[in-house]
Amino acid sequence: MTSKNKVVIRIAGKDYTLVGIESDEYIQKVGLYIDRKMNEILMRNNRLSTSLAAVLTAINVADDFFKTREEEVALRKEKEAVNEELERLRKENLQLKEENGGLTAKNTKLQLDLAKREAELGEVRNSIDKGSRSVVQKTLSGYDM
């Protein structure tokens, strides 16, 4: 069973004893937050009664709470959209890697084929050069000088 903490906090110059399961530090932090909010309201209009200042503080804190909750909902939706986009990009990345692997293999095959054909072309050129020299030599040998 969780033990309860008894903490004295000061709000608008009055001491209040709070009992809760949260830590002393947390309860003090909450009390300090309310005290600051209430003092802001009282500083703007020092004629307000403590009870009216407390009501206005409660309204302001509730407003902050609801705005924060709306922001949280919006951030969760944004996070969900970002996660969906991330998943889509991961799938696209995987697909592109596979496609790249296929293209790399095809490129390697084509480069080997090109090297083979260039070698064959070189042999054909050498053969043509030898044949041309032979024809020229035979033609020249027919002309005795």
pLDDT in tens, 63-119: 999 999 999 999 999 999 999 999 999 999 999 999 999 999 999 999 999 999 999
Decide: 6 and 18 in contact? Cβ < 8 Å: yes
Global pTM value: 0.61
pLDDT in tens, 12-69: 999 999 999 999 999 999 999 999 999 999 999 989 999 999 999 999 999 999 999 9
Which string of DSSP letters, residue by residue, matches 65-78? HHHHHHHHHHHHHH
Phi, psi of 10 (to 5 degrees): -115, 125
CA distance 90 to 74: 24
CA distance 44 to 109: 81
Which string of DSSP letters, residue by residue, matches 88-132? HHHHHHHHHHHHHHHHHHHHHHHHHHHHHHHHHHHHHHHHHHHHH
Decide: 34 and 49 in contact? Cβ < 8 Å: no
**Tokens of residue 10, six digits:** 């000061």
**Tokens of residue 61, six digits:** 């804190």
